[in-house]
Amino acid sequence: MNITICSVAVVFLLSSIFMMFLKDEKLFTNFMNTLNKDQKKIYFKIIRERTMLYIGGMLLGLFLGFIYLSMNKNTNMNICAFIAIIFITQIVFYKIYPKSTYMLYHLDKQEQLSAWTDIYTYMKKIYMFSFILAIVSYILIGYSFKF
């Protein structure tokens, strides 16, 4: 199978879309119900910080993508490379940027740890599942256009 920059871009794009629909809000509600007032403040601070990191990575990706577009005006894969640059930059930025704290450090009851572990394992599972689903979707879409 020929892996192109467009296949990478489409997989990242589809995976991102699938992740939006696979999130189980019940797990987050259950976790929130285990937290006290101070822990909820910390949790919302962490959510804000992580959201800003996600947006910051996306903006950096857009910036790098536009630089790429301005330097490569005559290639056929511009939009594919642009999308891939955005998503790869966003993921790398989010993963390597130092976080101020982690929610795990602020949990003190077994019930909280169990609820947080449920969220962690579920999100890890749907992250991988969304990539697999995106790859399968890409292959099916590709084969449907060949016939």
- Spatial contact of 22 and 130, defined as CB atoms under 8 Å apart: yes
pLDDT of residue 28: 95
Express as a percent the part of the chain with pLDDT over 90.
64
pLDDT of residue 37: 97
pLDDT of residue 1: 40
Choose between 109 and 144: higher pLDDT. 109
pLDDT tens column, 9-68 = 888 888 888 888 888 899 999 999 999 999 999 999 999 999 999 999 999 999 999 999
pLDDT of residue 130 exceeding 70, the answer is: yes
pLDDT of residue 117 exceeding 70, the answer is: yes
The domain spans of the chain are 5-146
